[in-house]
Structure 1
């Protein structure tokens, strides 16, 4: 069974704020993801999937990490992640795909390995990381998990909201080919905390990540 990590990257997405190409404690953000993935022995290969060879100036290639240049047309804003995955699977042979977006520097190898094991050894066809929020939630102008016609319940009495977070999705090729999506019919949800799931996409996110590292709670990759 071949397990391949897919790390997609878009330079165009970074033109507005430059966060992805800023160094976090001396290293480019993408290298946090690559460093974590290369520690996972069950992952056979790690593919950086990008349309621009310029990414090679920012990443550290080793025998396990390689670059594949994808079609430039896949950089368009209207292209879905499913189209990216389909193109990847047309190029790379893999039984299990570990999709990790390089914007969560504090996701650990233990978390990713548990997601892999849930498919490799378990009864699940896919897995992803998420946060469970015990909060009063709204969507489209309506309450999600409590009723407006009843007395407001205590927080511990409401149903939690599950939010996909952490940018980790693991799925079998068979599941994706069948359903054309990264989450299957029987997914395993790996719950993570706020620090593990911290996503860097804006300047403020980057500054918070620096504070987390400087506090010593979670170290840099050096």
Structure 2
């Protein structure tokens, strides 16, 4: 009787171990490729690099804050997701902007983004509410990052009369009706650096 109970208990332990192992998804390993994560069909991003950022914490001067940083590409723009772990990530700007916001602390990038979990959680900046749960989709080549447009520089012409000789007669100014009317110039598109990726409404599956 005791022997039968022991066998039953051992079988129960095997079932529990198997269930625990089934819940732990294998780590993502894409090597030199990027890892695509998505929240259903509404929102997706590509993780291209993985690094660590250590910055000073004013509330704990002797205990610097160590953050996991993921460089991501979303809708053709570079951004970051950072936090203490992959379950508590916040939306961030491009890597250079994140370093500037962190007092000039540098991000130590790894050679690959391997070791990511199959699920990333993006939380609100001012709370613990989950904005999106991103699940691993596939390895591949991330979309190219679009460079921000820069306004064309106007050529600097010589100042009128700057090199004129003293006493030289200046040409008569044309009358207003004889002056060619300038053509209306299109307004240049505003240029900006993405402050952080924006989650579309309904991104939570």
Same-fold status (TM-score > 0.5): no
More strand by share: 2
More helix by share: 1
Q: Find the structure with the greater CA-based Rg.
A: 2
TM-score for both structures, normalised by structure 2: 0.22
